[in-house]
Chain A
């Protein structure tokens, strides 16, 4: 252990690592981070960053050809679904290239979680993908239970499956609304929010919180189902199909909607796999991959359902896929309620969990795709390493691949069909 002299200031880590990074880049044959001043032409041009390009790809995007210009979409753009900047290179109104610039919402949740106990990690992951909070908690709960070597009681697993399916329904419902909103139709989002508020009120009755539920615990869930939750569930179940179908009727047949989504942003199954796109977006391209079937977790191997796929791979298929999955989730909820066992909802777990040193991987099917957690324990009360793979972060890579050759106005329509949430993208 080194003694720290109170008079000594800690050396600035930034200066220490600057030389290290330059050395590493030169060994790898990458472009240097700095060149002599005046050598770089971009200093004078509007829209080009006032520093030399750091990679080949950046140099390609930021060097302009004849008649091309750069447009910043964001970071405060109303339809970027959060805070994100798209640098769009356009020739007239045709997109030539797109460079997504991330990090405006970066909170370092992985680092925070490495300094939190296992129980409190489940509260830190909530605001990540804020439209699928229950799924965010589910994956770490699975990973930590594997690390600690316990299982949640069966009733807890059923309640978990119930709340994540409810969460999936309102997330997909909101996607329908946002997709229409980004094309100028304001009504569907209002109906989507009516449906969402019913579910959120229901979940707040069971968890005590309205948006960041903080409902899962290592070894179970926080509360058992109560009367208010069940009565709200019954009321909602009676009218949800009518609500969804009404909203669907507003959007699906709309001529503007159809002409702006059909054959727009078409992603083949091969490309989708290569790009790491998962979830409904991958299934809309015809690949039947669903974590609930591929690697069944929780109690999904006791439920009957088929993987739904679409063949188109365009924005319209991704929209239809969401509707089909809403109906599938309602079907799953009916089964879960029928099979709900009796018993405790929380295993006996100490206040501070100290798993044995080891590694665990927990993956769930979130509304946006494969959401997974890789946790390493060193025997202490905090995870040694806590890694989250957020599906919308990875799916965002499809945008620069799909958009060249399309119109600027279609960028947001295609992006909304992938349903990214920036809280998850930026972690």
Chain B
């Protein structure tokens, strides 16, 4: 870890550690250079890409592409979090460094919609080729959700008016046990800071 923090030329910032992981953050345009340096520098020698995953921090926030690397010369896993603009989700592909990143990047493109510049085979991998949505984004609405379901309205919780609790309170003659309140229903905060759904969930 000392070795990593001394190497200021790599461009790593925001050091954070836990018991067996060392974490740095980079901006997307620098990520490819950083990873190449980490792999090729004989003092560092992070020869193995353990994992590459995308994280969505929600609307108005950012994407992150998270790389986990392994080296014999380093006591922990190395985590590189590359910040990707959510409005313009692009980052350089690392398939030229590790061929095995291909399936990782295809999965990230399929699930999150992040485009990898320089990837020669950026297709969907799990969903069918004519699918157009990105299912693991936080703002993804499930196509079979509530209003579109053929059973819509059978369960009061599936009626659109129950999604907004203020509307729900005004709606007459719809009752339901509080224990069925969904976590994602817009909850009114009660006094102690927890939501209705939290306190009512059976243990």
Q: Is B15 an interface residue (CB 8 A)?
A: no
B-contact bits for A5-45, CB 8 A (1 contact / 0 none): 11011101111011011001101111000000000000000
Closest Cβ of chain A to B147, distance in Å, is 6
Q: Which of B50, B66, B101, B117 contacts A28 (CB 8 A)?
A: B117
Chain A residues within 8 Å of B99, by CB: 271, 274-276, 397, 401
In the complex, A394 has a CB within 8 A of chain B: yes
Q: Could you tell me how many residues of chain B have their Cβ less than 8 Å away from some Cβ of chain A?
A: 70
> Which one of A10, A56, A397 contacts B147 once the chains associate, using CB atoms below 8 Å?
A10
| A351 CA to B201 CA, complexed, in Å | 10
Contact A49 B129 (CB under 8 A): yes
Q: Which residues of B contact A237 (CB under 8 A)?
A: none
> What residues of chain A lie closer than 8 Å to B148, measured between beta carbons?
9-10
Are A361 and B68 in contact, with the CB atoms below 8 A? yes
Question: Are the CB atoms of A102 and B198 closer together than 8 Å?
Answer: no
B24 within 8 A of A: no
Alpha-carbon separation in the docked complex, A370 to B50 (Å): 8
Residue from B19, B90, B120, B186 in contact with A55 in the complex, judged by beta carbons closer than 8 Å: B120
Q: Is the CB of A387 within 8 A of B100?
A: no
Asked if A359 is at the interface of the complex by the 8 Å CB criterion, the answer is yes
Give B87-121 as 1s and 0s: 1 = Cβ < 8 Å from A's Cβ atoms.
01110000000111111100000010101110011
Which chain A positions have C-beta within 8 A of B113?
17, 20-21, 24
Contact indicator per residue, chain A 92-131, by CB within 8 Å of chain B (1) or not (0): 0000000000110010101100010000000000000000
Nearest A residue to B76, CB-CB: A295
A4-B160, A17-B133 as given contacts; A276 in contact with B101, CB under 8 Å? yes
Q: For A276, what are the chain B residues with a Cβ–Cβ distance below 8 Å?
A: 48-49, 98-101, 103-104
Would you call A3 an interface residue if the criterion is a C-beta within 8 Å of the partner chain's C-beta atoms?
yes
Nearest CB in chain B: distance from A256 CB, A: 32
**Does chain B have a CB within 8 A of A319?**
no
Q: Inside 8 A of B201's CB, which chain A residues have their CB?
A: 352, 381
Quick check: A6 and B121 within 8 Å, CB to CB? no
The residue in B66, B111, B122, B198 that gathers the most chain A C-beta atoms within 10 A of its C-beta is B122
Query: Is A160 close to B, CB under 8 A?
Result: no
Q: A28 and B68: CB pair below 8 A? A: no
Please name the residue on chain B nearest to A108 by beta carbon. Answer: B135
| B129 adjacent to A51 (CB under 8 Å) | yes
Choose the segment among B1-9, B27-35, B138-146 that binds chain A (4+ C-beta atoms closer than 8 Å).
Answer: B138-146
CB interface residues, B 115-161, toward A, < 8 Å: 115-117, 120-136, 140-141, 143, 145, 147-148, 159-161
Known interface pairs A17-B132, A25-B115; A55-B122 also in contact (CB < 8 Å)? yes
Binding site for B on A (CB under 8 A): 1, 3-6, 8-10, 12-15, 17-18, 20-21, 24-25, 27-30, 49, 51, 54-58, 102-103, 106, 108, 110-111, 115, 146, 271, 273-277, 289, 294-295, 350-352, 358-361, 363, 370, 372, 374, 376, 381-382, 385, 387, 389, 393-394, 396-397, 401, 426-427
A sample of 19 more A-B contacts (CB under 8 A), given A103-B127, A274-B98, is: A9-B148, A10-B145, A13-B140, A14-B131, A14-B133, A17-B133, A21-B113, A24-B113, A28-B122, A103-B126, A276-B100, A276-B101, A294-B72, A295-B76, A359-B18, A385-B55, A387-B66, A394-B104, A397-B102
Residues of B within 8 A of A (CB): 18-21, 23, 47-51, 53, 55-56, 66, 68, 70, 72, 76-77, 79, 88-90, 98-104, 111, 113, 115-117, 120-136, 140-141, 143, 145, 147-148, 159-161, 163-164, 166-167, 183, 186, 198, 201, 203
Top 10 closest pairs, chain A to chain B, by CB: A276-B100, A351-B203, A57-B121, A103-B126, A387-B53, A106-B126, A18-B132, A389-B51, A275-B100, A28-B115
